Amino acid sequence: MNNKIINVQNLTKTFGEKEVICRCNMTVPQGVIYGFLGANGAGKTTIFKLITGLLNPTYGQINILGLDIGKSHNKILKQLGCMIESPIFYDHLSATENLEIHLKYMGCIDANIEKTLNDVGLVNIGKQPVSKFSLGMRQRLGIARAIIHKPRILILDEPINGLDPMGIREMRELFIRLVQEEHMTILISSHILSEIEYIADIIGVIVNGSIVEEITLLSIKEKFPEGLEEYFFNIMNGGNTYE
Ligand SMILES: Nc1ncnc2c1ncn2[C@@H]1O[C@H](COP(=O)(O)OP(=O)(O)O)[C@@H](O)[C@H]1O
Ligand SMILES: [Mg+2]
């Protein structure tokens, strides 16, 4: 549990003149659900893109499973499942065909497409093209694509956007099951604090491109018995939990 499965040091990203991610350190232990919190525009998606190699850092180190993402990108990619921002599919193809293409790309031969679709609650969808899917169905398919090759690390950027309350509950249960039964480590961002409070073991908070705190949910609850919302607003108002 204390193995660092993701270790980020001094991570900085500038777009033009603008420093969007500033000297961030982040440690994700193996086997946890790490909830990543931050206001809109704080830098959550950018950090996820850097960790998954979709963007190159301006400077800093990113180690995943003990390997440098810049040097071992392909090796690491097979161990990652990601859904970052709204998932994009081949809209004229079915869910099954989209997953087949993904599996071929990942070089994965022993995945169970039907079971995975079932796990994310996409049942009786037959051969209908993804273009006919609702936003919630697309989101479910995005999650299916992120988990189907049984990655060691799952990176989910606002995964419950567009889901109805039932879908939110189903995905929550799925994420917990993936950690307990498939031994995945999950890094998840959400602006819905209650959702993170339900499932996270550790919380990282990013404010204006800087990670200001990493703390266990248990410690938060000791200091803020009212819960995560109280903690988060305290930080956003410039508070520090250790004052
Ligand atoms: N490709 C880009 N070019 C310039 N600025 C960007 C780019 N991507 C993100 N940003 C800026 O970086 C900041 C962080 O964005 P983002 O990571 O999307 O935040 P979050 O996901 O927390 O809402 C924002 O100010 C955004 O405008
Ligand atoms: Mg974002």
Residue-wise pLDDT tens digits, 57-102: 999 999 999 999 999 999 999 999 999 999 999 999 999 999 999 9
Same-domain check for residues 155 and 96: no
Length of the chain: 243
* CB 157 within 8 Å of CB 44: yes
Beta bridge partners of 54: none
Residue to substitute in 46, 51, 86, 156 for testing ligand 1 pocket (most ligand atoms within 8 angstroms of CB) = 46
Lowest-confidence segment of 2-6, 116-120, 128-132 by average pLDDT: 2-6
| Residues forming beta bridges with residue 185, ordered by sequence position | 153
Q: For 23-47, what is the mean pLDDT?
A: 96
Q: Give the distance (Å) from ligand 2 centre to CA of residue 52.
A: 14
Residue at a domain's end among 127, 150, 173: 150
What's the count of helices (H) and strands (E) in the chain, helices before strands?
9, 10
Instruction: For residues 50 and 130, state if they share a domain.
Output: no
- Give me 153's structure tokens: 């690390």
Domain that holds residue 210: 1-79+151-243
φ/ψ of residue 6, rounded to 5: -130, 130
Query: Using alpha carbons only, how large is the chain's radius of gyration in Å?
Result: 18
Residues 155 and 135 in one domain: no
Judgement on whether residues 168 and 156 belong to the same structural domain of the protein: yes
| Tokens linked to 217 | 């949910």
One domain, residues 155 and 240? yes
Task: Check residues 112 and 239 and name the one with the higher pLDDT.
Answer: 112
- How far is it, in rounded angstroms, from Cα 210 to Cα 179? 27
Is the pLDDT confidence value at 1 over 60?
no
Reduced to 3 DSSP states, what percent helix, strand and coil does the chain have, rounded to the nearest 5? 35, 25, 35
Q: In this structure, what CATH number is given to the domain that contains residue 45? A: 3.40.50.300
Q: Pull the structure tokens for residue 239.
A: 């508070």
Does residue 66 sit in the same domain as residue 98?
Answer: no
Is 132 in the same domain as 236?
Answer: no
Q: How far, CA to CA in Å, does 19 sit from each of 12, 58, 60, 69, 88?
A: 7, 9, 13, 21, 28
pLDDT in tens, 129-161: 999 999 999 999 999 999 999 999 999 999 998
Structure tokens at 108: 């994965």
pLDDT of residue 243: 44
15 Cβ closer than 6 Å to some ligand 1 atom: yes
- What predicted TM-score, i.e. pTM, was given to this entire model? 0.94
- Number of structural domains (the chain) is 2
Contact 54 CB / ligand 1 (< 6 Å): no
